[in-house]
Amino acid sequence: MNNLLSRATPYLQATPLLVILGFFLALPILLLLVVSFWDYDFAGMYPGFMTFNYAETLGSWVTWKTYGNTLKFAAIVWAITAFIGFWVAYFLAFHVRKASTQTVLFLVCTVPFLTSNIIRMISWIPVLGRNGLVNSALVGAGIVDQPVEWLLYSDFAVILAMVHLYTLFMVTPIFNTMMRIDKSLVEAARDGGASDWQIIWNVILPLAKPGIAIGSIFVVTLVMADFSTVQVMSGGQSASVALMMRNQMSLLQYPAAAANAVVLLVVVLSMVAGILRIVDIRKEL
Amino acid sequence: MGQEKRSPGFYILAAFFVLFVLFLYGPLSAIFILSFQGPQGGLTFPLNGVSVRWFQNLFEQQAVGDFGASFSRSLTLGLMVMAATVVVSLLAGLAFRRRFFGATPLFYLTVASLVVPSIIVSLGIGVLFQQLGLRPAWFSSAYGAHMTWTLPFGVLIMFAVFNRFSPSYEEAARDLGANSWQTFRHVVLPMIAPSLIGVGLFGFSLSYDEFARTLMTSGSSNTLPLEIYGMTTNVTTPVLYALGTVTTVFSFLIILLTVGIIYFIGQRRSRS
């Protein structure tokens, strides 16, 4: 009896997680897969099996252009966040010497992560706007005569806000892996006559790769899923895949949005699978 | 190592770090300052006098809709998500310490929960509730939607905690005659308490600020982030910034409180 209970324990403990993710994640995604083959009109959806939604989604040049635009955001934001994330984590892990200072500075970097994304996003508006801080400074200093128009409501604003929102997802995992690099490896490299750059390039960067990979998964999936930043910061002038879905949803075209969701999910999961080939994240926890 | 001279690289990186922190907090301080805009002032600098008029405005129904109700909904939902996240993550973390059939697929389902685009979760749950004939509400569908975001963080944190947890403590307790509940209650639980508080903080904050997952799942009543998002398009006074300041200060207080509790536990432990 006791033995049976002991063997059943992990199953009982894992059940709540399985039930919640099963009902609120797996089931809805399966349902979207089914609904993406349904017919619809302005009044409702009709069960059936037709590939029209996919033909419409994949056959339209708007879709391809939107994917191109979203992937462009993902690539640029990824490159910038990876650069910032690496150097900030490197500074914290290898240049700050006291553990308590390290903890405090790391907290300073993570606190904004726990505050509202929407507030952090709209906080750029008074900074970048036509009469915003940057423009007032530029005009005041006589660098430009007219306020710069492309600071807000542009691709520039979208990328800036995304970098602002998502860099923390890069800093945290990279810092985490760097803290586990044995400092004696760095000492050994230095004793062997390696310069600072050689140490960074040949010792730290290869060992920090898993952290960079996990950060990349976060940043890439967050940018691919983003619609609010694109909508607000581009002022409606730029598009993303999720924003396209959002518009279909507000028109109650659920089967069309579902087809879009399935395509987006396939794209995102293949990107994640590609990154996971580089690193086994189970080993990194 | 303390006496070693700083390399020039240190100063460049330190400057880079300071710039990064300014980049993180700078725009937030703009909102903070502008929320004290004078009664005649607009959405941008310069300040037209200083007042707390926009904070008073928050509590007048006609200015911002129902701020109080959406705040209390978000607060309640955050606490519900926090409680569930802590309990479910702890249980799952304990389960993953042992081998069991289906452990790997469950782990990948958890990771999938992290990478599936939020809008797909939102749409999927919305359609699911519609097909089941259930009415979506913030305490049912949005509750589940938020947990698809907080649970993977909680489970992965517990996973990391138990990977570093030596079983010898439990063996010692058992050798001294403790049963498995006593071992858990008096040995394991106190040791992982700070991590559990951290998981709670994540659960609450991620839910309190969640937007995309709530969009299709909150039914007819808005949570606070939805209310704020609606305001970005139709509110043209600094009352928007006042609301931003209030919720951000609230988030900061929660974080400070949590860090304080964890620090306090650590201090008490090192003294005893």
Mean pLDDT of chain A: 89
Single pTM value for the model:
0.90
B23–A164 C-beta distance less than 8 A: yes
C-alpha–C-alpha distance, residues B124 and A255, integer Å: 11
Residue B45 belongs to a domain: no
C-alpha–C-alpha distance, residues A248 and A157, integer Å: 25
State the ipTM, two decimals. Answer: 0.89
C-alpha–C-alpha distance, residues A9 and B98, integer Å: 9
pLDDT band for position B61 (50/70/90)? low
Residue B118 belongs to a domain: yes
Residue A133 is inside which H or E element, if any?
helix A133-140
Q: What integer pLDDT is reported at residue B4 of this predicted model?
A: 64
List of chain B residues whose C-beta atoms are within 8 Å of the C-beta of residue A254: 123, 127
Distance from CA of A143 to the nearest CA of B (A): 19
A11–B251 C-beta distance less than 8 A: no
- Residue B171 predicted with pLDDT over 70: yes
List of chain B residues whose C-beta atoms are within 8 Å of the C-beta of residue A196: 7, 9
Q: What integer pLDDT is reported at residue A259 of this predicted model?
A: 93
Q: Does B81 touch chain A (CB under 8 A)?
A: no
Q: Does B52 touch chain A (CB under 8 A)?
A: no
**CB count, 10 Å around CB of B269?**
12
B 147-206 near A (Cβ less than 8 A)? 147-148, 151, 155-156, 159-160, 163, 201-202, 205-206
Q: What integer pLDDT is reported at residue B121 of this predicted model?
A: 94
B44–A109 C-beta distance less than 8 A: no
Q: Going by C-beta distance under 8 Å and a sequence separation of 6 or more, which residues neighbour residue B263? A: none
Position of tokens 């498995």? B180
B123–A261 C-beta distance less than 8 A: yes
Q: Going by C-beta distance under 8 Å and a sequence separation of 6 or more, which residues neighbour residue B126? A: A249, B136, B141, B216, B217
Cα dihedral A228, A230, A231, A234 sign: positive
Q: What integer pLDDT is reported at residue B163 of this predicted model?
A: 86
Q: What integer pLDDT is reported at residue B1 of this predicted model?
A: 43
Residue B256 belongs to a domain: no
The domain in which residue B83 lies consists of 65-234
Position of tokens 């290898």? A94
3-state secondary structure of B256: helix
**Domain total for chain B?**
1
Distance from CA of B30 to the nearest CA of A (A): 7
B225–A261 C-beta distance less than 8 A: no
A116–B244 C-beta distance less than 8 A: yes
Residue type (1 letter), A196 = D
Low-confidence ranges of chain A (pLDDT < 70): 1, 281-285
Q: Does B140 touch chain A (CB under 8 A)?
A: no
Q: Domains in chain A, please, with CATH?
A: 61-284 (1.10.3720.10)
Mean pLDDT of chain B: 87
Size of chain A, expressed as the number of residues it contains: 285
List of chain B residues whose C-beta atoms are within 8 Å of the C-beta of residue A244: none
Output helix, strand, coil percentages for chain A, rounded to the nearest 5. Answer: 80, 0, 20
Residue B220 belongs to a domain: yes
3-state secondary structure of B101: coil
Residue B90 belongs to a domain: yes
Radius of gyration of chain A (CA): 24
Residue A108: closest C-alpha in chain B = B21
Of A121, A124, A236, give the one whose Cα is nearest residue B209. A121
C-alpha–C-alpha distance, residues B206 and B149, integer Å: 8
Residue B59 belongs to a domain: no
The answer to whether A263 touches A254, Cβ cutoff 8 Å, is no
C-alpha–C-alpha distance, residues B93 and B220, integer Å: 36
Residue B30 belongs to a domain: no
Query: What mean pLDDT do residues B87-94 have?
Result: 95
> Which residue in the set A13, A23, A227 is minimally distant from B144, CB to CB?
A23
Whichever domain contains B158, its CATH number is: 1.10.3720.10
Residue B230 belongs to a domain: yes
Query: What mean pLDDT do residues B138-165 have?
Result: 92
C-alpha–C-alpha distance, residues A112 and A128, integer Å: 20
C-alpha–C-alpha distance, residues A2 and A11, integer Å: 15
